[in-house]
Amino acid sequence: MLSKEELNVCNQAIEKRFINLAQLQECQEIQKKIDDMGTHKSIVDILLEKKYLSGEQLAAIQRGSVKDTKALGDFELLAKLGEGGMGTVYKARQKHMDRVVALKVLNPMLAKNKDYIPRFYREARHAAKLTHINIVSAYEVGEAQGFHYLAMEYVEGKSLDHIIEEKKIIPEAEALNISIQVARALGHAEKHGLIHRDIKPENIIITKGNIVKLIDLGLAKSVYDEETSLTKTGSVIGTPHYIAPEQAKGLRDVDIRADIYSLGATLYHMVTGAPPFQSDSSMAVITKHINEKPVPPVRRNPAISESISRVIERMLEKNPYDRYQTAQELLEDLQSVKEGKDPKLGQLELLVEETPKNKKKKTFLKPSGNMKASHPGQGFLPSYEPHPLPWSFLIKMIIGLTILLILFLLYKKTLKEQSQPPSKTETRQTTPGARGK
């Protein structure tokens, strides 16, 4: 017997003339034989296998079902907020909690992938663990009426892409404030082993109180869960204008530094009025991210400071090991630029310190953040405490070695004198008695 969802799909498929009654009856007979064997297969799957119904036709039916309904499980749909590759987002009211939420309904084409759904649920639960003022909270993941959904915190505000569209160029101070809050959100996610993978202006919301909210952590990946990650080798996750080179190459080993790159591209767009790379095709933009160095932001907009330009350039380095290595490292430099100080850019600094006792200066090297690996296979070198350079010890060693050398030369001279044979004058001396005879 057909379920309510199956019956709805079949009725609409016939109404839209995607299939005819004879094809439906044939598939029902196949389903009955499968049921008699002790297993079950959906009538929709059989229609797809027989190629009576295409994936595109099924997606059109399911999209129409959501549009036609005003409720999805416990959620009352109030308005459509947007639509993307992963699905459609609605403003909705969760009845039993009596709260307004943003409800993302998964694209039916993705839902047909049996491997995708378990990963979607697992990664949505990872995102639900994050509680931070700059991250939109994930409330619930589930299925209703044949649709998979993710319920999230609803935020009143404007997306960054709309703000850029209105202002064209965002003032440096405002751009820094937005980037600092996003960096805090990334730092919190990083501590929980999560990366976003799709940082872009559309995924950044600014509320009326100027609180920045990072959205769409449904794409988030747990760095500890390689087998269940939505990212597979060779697949590209991200948006072309803001994608990190390693993501553009479809590499699997992606971490927080990819998010730092994408935030760098977003900050570049804010202060210059355009993304780092532009072209007529997405593939051309992706290729530029992999191969080309962007024009320094300060050359595109001389009104910004050299400091913020240098920070953006460091964020947009091609090699992840040449970028900031952590969100905290980036956050410190963004704060420094905001306060009018020079950024450290993750480099070693030469510091001079006065001791309280003798007021003499001590010089030592101190890292501004964690030391980074020289190549991907090496990993990170541990951070270390600064040590004064041992000048007095070196002087003492030189004096000691000089004394030892002098003693050694004196000893060698003494040995040489003792080993010399008697002189000829000594051997020719004879006694007086012998000369008389």
CATH number of domain containing 107 = 3.30.200.20
Q: How confident is the model at residue 117 (pLDDT cuts 50, 70, 90)?
A: confident
CA distance 111 to 150: 13
Q: Using the predicted structure, report yes or no on whether residue 55 has a pLDDT greater than 80.
A: no
For all residues of the chain together, what is the average pLDDT? 80
Express each pLDDT in 122-146 by its tens digit.
878 877 888 999 999 999 999 888 7
Q: How confident is the model at residue 258 (pLDDT cuts 50, 70, 90)?
A: very high
What token pair was written down for 97? Answer: 């909690």
What token pair was written down for 105? Answer: 């309904």
Same domain for 180 and 247: yes
Q: Using the predicted structure, report yes or no on whether residue 87 has a pLDDT greater than 90.
A: no
Same domain for 50 and 8: yes
Max Cα–Cα distance, the chain, nearest Å: 157
- DSSP code, position 280: S
The arithmetic mean of pLDDT across residues 308-324, rounded, is 97
CA distance 35 to 29: 10
Question: Domain for residue 414, yes or no?
Answer: no
Q: Using the predicted structure, report yes or no on whether residue 102 has a pLDDT greater than 80.
A: yes
Domain boundary among 154, 180, 200: 154
Contact criterion met (CB below 8 Å) for 305 and 294: no
Contact criterion met (CB below 8 Å) for 108 and 149: no
Q: How confident is the model at residue 351 (pLDDT cuts 50, 70, 90)?
A: very low
What token pair was written down for 99? Answer: 């709260």
Helix (H, G, I), strand (E, B) or coil at 191: helix
Q: Rounded to the nearest 10 degrees, how much is the dihedral formed by the CA atoms of 234, 240, 245, 247? A: -40
- DSSP code, position 318: S
Q: Using the predicted structure, report yes or no on whether residue 68 has a pLDDT greater than 90.
A: no
> Count of domains in the chain?
4
Q: Using the predicted structure, report yes or no on whether residue 373 has a pLDDT greater than 80.
A: no
Domain boundary among 97, 124, 154: 154
Q: Using only the alpha carbons of the chain, give its radius of gyration.
A: 36
Pairing type for strands 147-153 and 99-106 reads antiparallel
- Greater confidence (136 vs 385) lies with 136
Q: Using the predicted structure, report yes or no on whether residue 156 has a pLDDT greater than 60.
A: yes
- Per-residue pLDDT, 420: 67
Tell me which residue range forms the domain holding 116: 69-154
Which residues, including other chains, have CB under 8 Å from residue 90's CB and lie 6 or more apart?
A: 75, 77, 78, 79, 80, 81, 102, 103, 105
Same domain for 327 and 180: yes
Q: Using the predicted structure, report yes or no on whether residue 434 has a pLDDT greater than 60.
A: no
Same domain for 340 and 215: yes
Same domain for 114 and 79: yes
Domain boundary among 297, 316, 344: 344
Same domain for 354 and 221: no
Alpha-helical runs (H) found in 69-141: 108-111, 116-128
Q: How confident is the model at residue 268 (pLDDT cuts 50, 70, 90)?
A: very high
CA distance 414 to 417: 5
Q: How confident is the model at residue 342 (pLDDT cuts 50, 70, 90)?
A: very high
Contact criterion met (CB below 8 Å) for 197 and 254: yes
Question: Domain for residue 186, yes or no?
Answer: yes
Question: Domain for residue 424, yes or no?
Answer: no
Q: How confident is the model at residue 226 (pLDDT cuts 50, 70, 90)?
A: very low
Q: How confident is the model at residue 346 (pLDDT cuts 50, 70, 90)?
A: low
Among 110-119, 128-137, 322-331, the least confident range: 110-119
| 87: amino acid identity, one letter | G
Task: Find the angle CA(327)-CA(119)-CA(258) to the nearest 5 degrees.
Answer: 25
Question: Domain for residue 431, yes or no?
Answer: no
Q: What is the CATH number of the domain that holds 329?
A: 1.10.510.10
Same domain for 133 and 53: no
Same domain for 214 and 326: yes
Question: Domain for residue 148, yes or no?
Answer: yes
Express each pLDDT in 273-294 by its tens digit.
999 999 988 899 999 999 999 9
Question: Domain for residue 410, yes or no?
Answer: no
- Per-residue pLDDT, 76: 93
CA distance 70 to 72: 7
Give exposure, 374-394, as e/b (b: 16+ Cβ within 10 Å). eeeeeeeeeeeeeeeeeeeee
Question: Domain for residue 412, yes or no?
Answer: no
- Per-residue pLDDT, 120: 80
Q: Using the predicted structure, report yes or no on whether residue 163 has a pLDDT greater than 90.
A: yes
Same domain for 161 and 121: no
Same domain for 89 and 38: no
Contact criterion met (CB below 8 Å) for 117 and 148: yes
Closest CA to 202 of 216, 190, 189: 216
Which residues, including other chains, have CB under 8 Å from residue 309's CB and lie 6 or more apart?
A: 296, 297, 298
CA distance 177 to 210: 9
Task: Give percent above pLDDT 90 in the chain.
Answer: 42
CA distance 181 to 162: 18
- Per-residue pLDDT, 386: 40
Same domain for 197 and 50: no
Sheet with 138-144, strands from edge to edge, namely 71-72, 75-83, 87-94, 99-106, 147-153, 138-144
- Per-residue pLDDT, 246: 95
- Alpha-carbon distances of 40 from 1, 145, 244, rounded to whole Å: 11, 19, 44
Closest CA to 386 of 351, 361, 354: 351
Question: Domain for residue 217, yes or no?
Answer: yes
The arithmetic mean of pLDDT across residues 206-229, rounded, is 67
Same domain for 189 and 329: yes
The arithmetic mean of pLDDT across residues 323-352, rounded, is 84
- Per-residue pLDDT, 4: 67
List residues with catalytic annotation. Answer: 198
Among 33-37, 71-75, 111-115, 402-406, the least confident range: 111-115
